[in-house]
Amino acid sequence: MSPSVRPEIASFRELESLVRHLGEELASFRRRALQAEARLKAIETGGGPASAGLIERVAVLEAENRDLARRVESADGKARHMLARVRFLRQQQDGAQERGADHRGAER
């Protein structure tokens, strides 16, 4: 980080990037879930019994879905942590500005 970039701006940019990537990942998960639901519905309405390969594929997809849900939860926690850091930095900056204003006012 260069000295000219304030820490809160850098943290905000990092948070913004994290949220953007999280949104993209969530959109991807949603698309995949909708595709899987459409495939499952097509299988169910086909009237025939599901083959062993399909049952295995469903099990794999369910495991993958659990993993993806865990990753989304982790990313959500990281985003909340970054937001807390940004809020802390803003409070620190506001406090420093207030102390500076008080100090300048006392000198007059």
First-to-final CA distance of the chain: 37
1 inside domain: no
Domain that holds residue 69: 7-107
Res. 70: pLDDT tops 90: yes
Question: What confidence tier does 10 reach under pLDDT thresholds 50, 70, 90?
Answer: confident
- CA-closest candidate to residue 93, choices 35, 10, 6, 18: 6
Enter the pTM of the model. 0.46
The number of distinct structural domains making up the chain is 1
Q: What is the pLDDT of residues 79-92, one digit of tens each?
A: 999 999 999 988 88
d(CA 106, CA 2): 33
2 inside domain: no
Q: What per-residue confidence (pLDDT) applies to 62?
A: 94
